[in-house]
Amino acid sequence: MKLTIGVKLFLAYFIITASIVWFATDKISLRITNGIDQAAEEVMVDSANLLAQMVSSNIKDDEINVDEVRAIMSAYLNRELDVNIYSISKKNPNLQIYITNQDGIVVYDSKGKIEGEDYSQWRDVFLTLKGKYGARSSAYDASIEEPTADQKAHHVAAPIYHNGKIFGSLTVIKSVADLKPYVIAQKDQITEYAIYVLLISLLFGAGVSFVVTRGTRKLVKYTTALSKGETVVAPKIRQVEFAELAQAIEKLRVDLEGREYVEEYINTMAHELRTPITGIRGTAENLLMPMSSSQREHFVNNILDANKKMDMLVNRLLNLSRIERRDKLENVEKIDVKTLIKDVVQAPSRKGNISRRSIKIEYTIERDFSIKAEKLLAEQALSNIIDNAIDFTPPDSTISIKVSESNTHVNIQVQDQGKGVPEHARKQIFRRFFSSSRPDTGKRGNGLGLRFVKKIMSLHGGKVSLKNRFMEDGAVATLKFPIK
Ligand SMILES: Nc1ncnc2c1ncn2[C@@H]1O[C@H](COP(=O)(O)OP(=O)(O)OP(=O)(O)O)[C@@H](O)[C@H]1O
Ligand SMILES: [Mg+2]
């Protein structure tokens, strides 16, 4: 499997975030354990001193009244508690103590295990008897030699004074296991927060990688479409690098298209010019023969016809190529649609054609409409579709021109009564050089008209369409000019 850049990013993000969260959680947990231990020690110091003070007042005849202490401690240890400290409940007291005399011999042990033993070398007793602060952390049960962390206990001692001198020591013992629930509760809370942080940052990571992937996906889709020769618009990408890449590709595409375009133009021009050129040569050769002046006149007219055709083709190609390279309008003006139509229909070249084929023109113009357009281009667009209608409608038929308005557009429709566009031609009509022969004369056009119209309309932010009429013979060409 190949990993996409998005997946890689996400994985990297995941690993980094997870490590940071794990590291932070670990450190914080350690801190909390230490913090709880320190707080406990502070309370233990106070307890040890309070208890030592109480023992001090139980010294009789230079001896600690152990029986009294034993009674108090066992009463204390037998107490039943029902205390809830936040989420943790405490059922019985669990502070243990032992007391040594000034030689470090244990005279009392609340657990009843080590009485009589010499504890003078244990750090807590040793330091306390010397008048220093004595504490240690070691096995709760002295018989365990290598205690685990949970088997340890904190031991904090305080001196017992008698007559102003250190008379013995009292050690308070708190098992680490007793403190553990507090540590665990805090750790659980921290883990919960850590999971939230991880989830949120993962969501963010997923978002980031989605955005990046979307950019690349768009680019890939775009370039794939381009490589298949489809006409596609460059994708809109916000990510700067990708946007620049898309622009670069778009520029490359335009350059390449320009090159193909010129090639295509030259090829077709050569192809289209070949027929009249061959014709001219044939006719010229004929002219070399002896002939009557009327024959000569016929051949000369042929040559002039061919010349006219070539001239027209070259002009139309130049016009089309000029407009295809444009990307904005110049000299846009407000044009009255009725005047526009009248000018086009009554142009001398068209007028003759219309009357020769006895074509009637019918107008349905709801009211005065105007469009914003470049006048010459609007005229050319309309001329092309009207010429097509004239060419494809049979003699003695009617072409009807309708102007109407929708919310967004002014629509100019030209309907004829010809055979309409055959199924096989439907997809081709806007392609350069596609032309079918005219029903009357059998001659073809250049196949440039609709292409030209399409470009003009797109420059105006409008549209052209050519459809067959519904349930009737004929086609209807529509120009849609936007109302701005
Ligand atoms: N009114 C119409 N009725 C039927 N077919 C049409 C009509 N208008 C256009 N077409 C079809 O669309 C094709 C392309 O039209 P277009 O105007 O681009 O080229 P043309 O008229 O053949 O040549 P040119 O306009 O360059 O002289 C036509 O050859 C024809 O097949
Ligand atoms: Mg045409």
Tens digits of residue pLDDT in 312-339: 888 888 888 888 878 889 999 999 999 9
Q: What is the pLDDT of residue 450?
A: 95
Give the pLDDT mean for 115-127.
95
Using 50, 70 and 90 to split pLDDT, how confident is the model at 260?
Answer: confident
CB of 445 sitting under 6 A from ligand 1:
yes
Is the separation of the CB atoms in 444 and 423 below 8 Å?
A: no
Query: How much distance in Å is there from the Cα of 415 to the middle of ligand 1?
Result: 13
Q: What is the pLDDT of residue 45?
A: 96
Q: What is the pLDDT of residue 64?
A: 92
pLDDT in tens, 341-374: 999 999 998 999 999 999 999 999 989 999 999 9
State the chain's mean pLDDT as an integer: 91
* CB proximity list for 382: less than 8 A, separation 6 or greater: 340, 341, 344, 412, 414, 479
Is the separation of the CB atoms in 365 and 338 below 8 Å?
A: yes
CB of 388 sitting under 6 A from ligand 1:
yes
Average the pLDDT over each of 149-153, 289-293, 321-325, 342-346 and give the range with the smallest value.
321-325
CB of 421 sitting under 6 A from ligand 1:
yes
Give the pLDDT mean for 403-414.
96
Using 50, 70 and 90 to split pLDDT, how confident is the model at 252?
Answer: confident
- Could you identify the residue written with the tokens 């050129």? 277
- 54 pLDDT exceeds 90? yes
Closest-CA residue to 268 (of 391, 449, 444, 434):
434
Give Dmax over CA atoms of the chain in angstroms. 168
- Ligand 1 atom 6: the closest Cα is on which residue? 421
Q: What fold is seen in the domain 240-324?
A: Helix Hairpins (1.10.287)
Q: What is the pLDDT of residue 83?
A: 92
Q: What is the pLDDT of residue 313?
A: 85
Which superfamily does 5-187 belong to? PAS domain (3.30.450.20)
Q: Return d(Cα 250, Cα 85) in angstroms, integer.
A: 69
Give the pLDDT mean for 31-51.
93
Query: How much distance in Å is there from the Cα of 429 to the middle of ligand 1?
Result: 7
- 44 pLDDT exceeds 80? yes
The residue with greater pLDDT, 417 or 257, is 417
Q: 332-482 sits in which CATH class?
A: alpha beta
Q: What is the pLDDT of residue 327?
A: 80
Q: What is the pLDDT of residue 253?
A: 80
Q: What is the pLDDT of residue 360?
A: 96
- Ligand 1 atom 29: the closest Cα is on which residue? 435
Using 50, 70 and 90 to split pLDDT, how confident is the model at 13?
Answer: confident
Give the pLDDT mean for 178-207.
89
Domain boundaries, the chain: 5-187, 240-324, 332-482
Q: What is the pLDDT of residue 275?
A: 83
Closest atom, ligand 1, to C-alpha of 446: 26
Q: What is the pLDDT of residue 157?
A: 97
- 2 pLDDT exceeds 80? no
Both tokens of residue 405?
């308005």
Using 50, 70 and 90 to split pLDDT, how confident is the model at 212?
Answer: confident
Instruction: Say if 5-187 and 332-482 have the same CATH topology.
Output: no
What percentage of the chain reaches a pLDDT higher than 70?
Answer: 100
CB of 446 sitting under 6 A from ligand 1:
yes
CB of 400 sitting under 6 A from ligand 1:
no
- 417 pLDDT exceeds 90? yes
* Residue 55, CB-side half-sphere exposure with 13 Å CA sphere: 30
Query: How much distance in Å is there from the Cα of 377 to the middle of ligand 2?
Result: 15
Q: Return d(Cα 187, Cα 32) in angstroms, integer.
A: 8
Is the separation of the CB atoms in 126 and 104 below 8 Å?
A: yes
Using 50, 70 and 90 to split pLDDT, how confident is the model at 276?
Answer: confident
Both tokens of residue 38?
């320190």
Q: Which of 416, 429, 467, 472 for a ligand 1 pocket mutation test, highest count of atoms within 8 Å of Cβ?
A: 429
Opening angle at CA 389, ends 388 and 393, nearest 5: 120
The residue with greater pLDDT, 100 or 185, is 100
- 468 pLDDT exceeds 90? yes
User: How many Cβ atoms are within 10 Å of 173's Cβ, its own excluded?
Assistant: 23
CB of 385 sitting under 6 A from ligand 1:
no
Q: What is the pLDDT of residue 61?
A: 86
Q: Which of 435, 438, 441 for a ligand 1 pocket mutation test, highest count of atoms within 8 Å of Cβ?
A: 435
Ligand index nearest the alpha carbon of residue 466: 1
- Ligand 1 atom 8: the closest Cα is on which residue? 388
Q: What is the pLDDT of residue 407?
A: 92
User: How many Cβ atoms are within 10 Å of 306's Cβ, its own excluded?
Assistant: 20
Burial of 52 (0-12, 13-18, 19+ CB in 10 A): buried
